[in-house]
């Protein structure tokens, strides 16, 4: 049966269709407009921005904010740490999660039900921050780059989603490969992984965004500033800016801004854009896999 067009729907259906469109537009604007405001302020001269009235387009275009950001060694070093942990952590996490999911999908695996329950059980309870800190200390991960990678290699939710997706792949492909002399590793690498691009893309996105946005680990488990990721550096800059703002009088802050094109506020906006844009650019490349991967991995089984 053909899908009814909008003109052939009942008045009530058209009303709710229009209401959905209106709500989606409002939701989109609530996300896009704040981003455009920050973007405009980041490209606006800091001295001029203090006058107010800059909303979605820079009034006095300037690149001084970004020059200041990229001249800060903390930002550059933070980017290196963040890029390193995101690339290494995401690659290892996706590959190891896929291996665990592939093993758990095998009905002949000894103790399969027990391991599945054990993985699910860890989703319900957490040991807490202090026991977690003690584990990291005993493993020698504190003040180390690997504290960003090793603790997040596995996620129970990701394993379950990926295992469920693997179960949708026709078992006949694996049996045919075995008849041709393929071992488990070759089947996994040459058949399972190439057919699992949707769920792999989704899991990689979740893990990668988690690595990119994580400031907590650097702030609480790392004391060496040279190991701070860019998000921890950004948080430190914002905290320092707010502290200075509360200490300085308005007249003093205005006098400082009069001698500079870059202010703390404009520098903060540029830093936010610099830290957000790279991960945002990833979304268009995996959007086509996103819905398919989540839906199949979550409800098929």
Q: Cα(289)–Cα(301) distance, rounded to whole angstroms?
A: 19
**Per-residue pLDDT at 7:** 60
Bridge partners (DSSP) listed for residue 44: 61
Q: Dump pLDDT digits (tens) for 232-251.
A: 888 887 777 666 666 554 44
Indicate the pLDDT class of residue 10, thresholds 50, 70 and 90.
confident
Dihedral (CA of 256, 262, 266, 267) sign:
negative
Q: Which CATH class is domain 67-299?
A: mainly alpha
What residue spans define the domains of the chain?
6-65, 67-299
Q: Cβ atoms within 10 A of the Cβ of 105, count? A: 19
Q: Dump pLDDT digits (tens) for 81-107.
A: 999 999 999 999 999 999 999 988 888
DSSP state of 2: P
Compute the average pLDDT of residues 197-208.
88
**Per-residue pLDDT at 262:** 66
What does the buried/exposed string (b/e) look like for 5-30 if buried means 16 or more CB atoms within 10 Å of the residue's CB? eeeeeeeeeeeeeeeeeeeeeeeeee
Dihedral (CA of 159, 294, 93, 232) sign:
negative
Q: Which residues make Cβ contacts (< 8 Å) with residue 162, sequence separation at least 6?
A: 97, 98, 101, 196, 199, 200, 203, 297
Q: Which residues make Cβ contacts (< 8 Å) with residue 114, sequence separation at least 6?
A: none
Q: Dump pLDDT digits (tens) for 110-130.
A: 888 888 888 888 888 777 888
Q: Dump pLDDT digits (tens) for 32-63.
A: 888 888 888 888 877 777 777 777 888 888 88
Q: Is the pLDDT of residue 2 over 50?
A: no
Global pTM value: 0.77
Token couple for 270: 């540029």
Task: Provide, rounded to the nearest whole percent, the portion of the chain with pLDDT above 70.
Answer: 84
φ, ψ dihedrals at 61, nearest 5°: -65, 135
Residues 49/266, Cβ–Cβ less than 8 Å: yes
Which of 11, 46, 182, 165 is CA-nearest to residue 98?
A: 165
């Amino acid at each position: 049966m053909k899908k009814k067009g909008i003109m052939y729907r009942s008045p009530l259906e058209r009303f709710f269709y229009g209401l959905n469109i209106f709500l989606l537009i409002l939701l989109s604007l609530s996300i896009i407009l704040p981003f455009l405001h920050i973007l405009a302020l980041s490209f606006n001269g800091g001295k001029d921005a203090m006058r107010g009235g800059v909303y979605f387009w820079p009034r006095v275009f300037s690149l001084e904010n970004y020059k200041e950001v990229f001249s800060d060694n903390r930002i550059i070093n933070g980017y290196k740490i963040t890029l390193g942990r995101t690339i290494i952590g995401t690659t290892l996490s996706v590959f190891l999660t896929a291996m665990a999911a592939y093993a758990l999908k095998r009905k002949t695996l000894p103790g399969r039900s027990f391991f599945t329950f054990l993985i699910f059980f860890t989703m319900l309870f957490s040991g807490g921050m202090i026991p977690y800190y003690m584990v990291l200390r005993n493993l020698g991960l504190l003040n180390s780059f690997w504290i960003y990678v090793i603790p997040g290699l596995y996620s129970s939710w990701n394993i379950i989603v990926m295992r469920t997706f693997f179960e949708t792949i026709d078992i006949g492909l694996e049996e045919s490969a075995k008849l041709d002399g393929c071992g488990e590793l070759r089947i996994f690498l040459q058949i399972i992984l190439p057919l699992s691009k949707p769920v792999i893309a989704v899991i990689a996105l979740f893990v990668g965004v988690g690595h990119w946005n994580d400031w907590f680990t650097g702030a609480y488990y790392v004391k060496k500033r040279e190991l701070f990721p860019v998000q921890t550096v950004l948080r430190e800059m914002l905290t320092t800016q707010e502290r200075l703002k509360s200490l300085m009088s308005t007249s003093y802050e205005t006098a400082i801004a009069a001698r500079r094109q870059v202010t703390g506020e404009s520098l903060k906006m540029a830093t936010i854009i610099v830290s957000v844009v790279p991960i945002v650019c990833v979304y268009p490349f995996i959007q086509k896999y996103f819905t398919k991967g989540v839906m199949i991995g979550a409800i098929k089984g």
